[in-house]
Amino acid sequence: NKVLFCAGVRVYENCAVHQVHNKDCKVTGVDTSRGSIECNFFVNCAGFWARQVGKMSEPFVKVPLHAVEHYYLHTKPIAGLDPMTPDCSTSRLLPEDWDHFHVLLEQMLLRVPVLGSATLDQLCNGPEAFSPDCKWIVGESPEIQNYFVAAGMKTVGISAAGGVGKATADLIVNGCSPYDLHELDISRFLGLHNNRKFLRDRVREVPGMHYGLIYPFHEFETGRNIRMSPIYPKLRAAGAVFGQVMGYERPSWFDPKFNEVSDTRLDNGYHPYRIAYTKTFGQPPWFDYVKDEYSACREAIGLSDYSSFTKIDILSKGHEVVDCLQYLCSNDVDIPLGGIIHTGMQNKLGGYENDCSLVRIAENHSYMMIAPTIQQTRCKVWIQKHLPADGSVTLSDVTSMYTAICIMGPFTRNLLSELTDTDLSPRSFPFFTFKELDVGLANGIRAMNLTHTGELGYVLYIPNELALHVYTQLIEAGKKYGIRHAGYYAMRAIRVERFYAFWGQDLDTTTTPLECGRSWRVKFDKGKHFIGQEALEKQRSEGVKRMYVQLVLNDHDPEFDVWPCGNEPIYKDGQYVGLTTTTAYGFTFKKQVCLGFVKNLDSEGQAQEVTTEFVLSGNYEVDIAGVRYSAKVNLHSPNLHTQYPDKERGAYLATREEQVAR
Ligand X SMILES: Cc1cc2nc3c(=O)[nH]c(=O)nc-3n(C[C@H](O)[C@H](O)[C@H](O)COP(=O)(O)OP(=O)(O)OC[C@H]3O[C@@H](n4cnc5c(N)ncnc54)[C@H](O)[C@@H]3O)c2cc1C
Closest of 410, 476, 408 to residue 234, by C-alpha = 476
Closest of 149, 165, 169 to residue 157, by C-alpha = 165
SS3 170: helix
49 contacts ligand X (rule: CB under 6 A): yes
**Bridge-partner residues for 125, per DSSP?**
71, 94
Tell me how far apart the alpha carbons of residues 135 and 189 are, in angstroms, rounded to a whole number.
12
- Rounded to the nearest whole angstrom, what is the least distance from the CB of residue 49 to ligand X in the complex? 4
632 contacts ligand X (rule: CB under 6 A): no
CB 347 within 8 A of CB 457: no
Question: Angle at CA 648, nearest 5°, toward 644 and 654?
Answer: 100
206 contacts ligand X (rule: CB under 6 A): no
Q: Which of 84, 158, 261, 661 binds ligand X (CB under 6 A)?
A: 158
Q: Which amino acid is at 366?
A: S
User: Strand 569-572 relative to strand 546-553: parallel, antiparallel, unpaired?
Assistant: unpaired
CB 344 within 8 A of CB 331: yes
| Cβ distance to ligand X smaller for residue 50 or 296 | 50
CB 42 within 8 A of CB 147: yes
Chain centroid offset of residue 489 CA: 15
| Cβ distance to ligand X smaller for residue 53 or 552 | 53
| Cβ distance to ligand X smaller for residue 47 or 586 | 47
Tell me how far apart the alpha carbons of residues 464 and 443 are, in angstroms, rounded to a whole number.
12
47 contacts ligand X (rule: CB under 6 A): yes
| Cβ distance to ligand X smaller for residue 165 or 388 | 165
151 contacts ligand X (rule: CB under 6 A): yes
285 contacts ligand X (rule: CB under 6 A): no
157 contacts ligand X (rule: CB under 6 A): yes
Q: Which of 20, 46, 171, 610 binds ligand X (CB under 6 A)?
A: 46
126 contacts ligand X (rule: CB under 6 A): yes
The 10 Å CB-count burial string (b at 16+, else e) for 388-409 is eeeebbebeebbeebbbbbbbb
11 contacts ligand X (rule: CB under 6 A): no
Interface region with ligand X, contact rule CB under 6 A, candidates 121-129, 174-182, 437-445, 604-612: 121-129
| Cβ distance to ligand X smaller for residue 150 or 415 | 150
86 contacts ligand X (rule: CB under 6 A): yes
CB 105 within 8 A of CB 135: no
207 contacts ligand X (rule: CB under 6 A): no
128 contacts ligand X (rule: CB under 6 A): yes
**Bridge-partner residues for 357, per DSSP?**
342, 370
CB 582 within 8 A of CB 505: yes
68 contacts ligand X (rule: CB under 6 A): no
Tell me how far apart the alpha carbons of residues 175 and 516 are, in angstroms, rounded to a whole number.
24
Q: Which of 20, 61, 123, 124 binds ligand X (CB under 6 A)?
A: 124
- Rounded to the nearest whole angstrom, what is the least distance from the CB of residue 378 to ligand X in the complex? 22
94 contacts ligand X (rule: CB under 6 A): no
566 contacts ligand X (rule: CB under 6 A): no
Tell me how far apart the alpha carbons of residues 581 and 595 are, in angstroms, rounded to a whole number.
6
| Cβ distance to ligand X smaller for residue 157 or 463 | 157
Interface region with ligand X, contact rule CB under 6 A, candidates 150-158, 472-480, 538-546, 567-575: 150-158
Tell me how far apart the alpha carbons of residues 552 and 595 are, in angstroms, rounded to a whole number.
9
37 contacts ligand X (rule: CB under 6 A): no
CB 117 within 8 A of CB 88: no
220 contacts ligand X (rule: CB under 6 A): no
- Rounded to the nearest whole angstrom, what is the least distance from the CB of residue 50 to ligand X in the complex? 7
Tell me how far apart the alpha carbons of residues 597 and 511 are, in angstroms, rounded to a whole number.
10
Interface region with ligand X, contact rule CB under 6 A, candidates 153-161, 228-236, 257-265, 608-616: 153-161
| Cβ distance to ligand X smaller for residue 157 or 566 | 157
- Rounded to the nearest whole angstrom, what is the least distance from the CB of residue 126 to ligand X in the complex? 2
Closest of 633, 627, 617 to residue 573, by C-alpha = 617
356 contacts ligand X (rule: CB under 6 A): no
- Rounded to the nearest whole angstrom, what is the least distance from the CB of residue 6 to ligand X in the complex? 24
**Which residue is closest to ligand X by CB?**
157
101 contacts ligand X (rule: CB under 6 A): no
Closest of 68, 73, 97, 77 to residue 86, by C-alpha = 73
* DSSP-based helix, strand, coil % in the chain, nearest 5: 25, 30, 45
Q: Which of 75, 146, 155, 642 binds ligand X (CB under 6 A)?
A: 155
Alpha helices in 282-395 (DSSP H): 287-299, 320-328, 378-385
Interface region with ligand X, contact rule CB under 6 A, candidates 156-164, 550-558, 612-620, 651-659: 156-164
| Cβ distance to ligand X smaller for residue 129 or 514 | 129
- Rounded to the nearest whole angstrom, what is the least distance from the CB of residue 207 to ligand X in the complex? 12
Residues lying near ligand X in the complex (CB under 6 A): 16-17, 45-47, 49, 53, 70, 72, 86, 124, 126, 128, 151, 153, 155-159
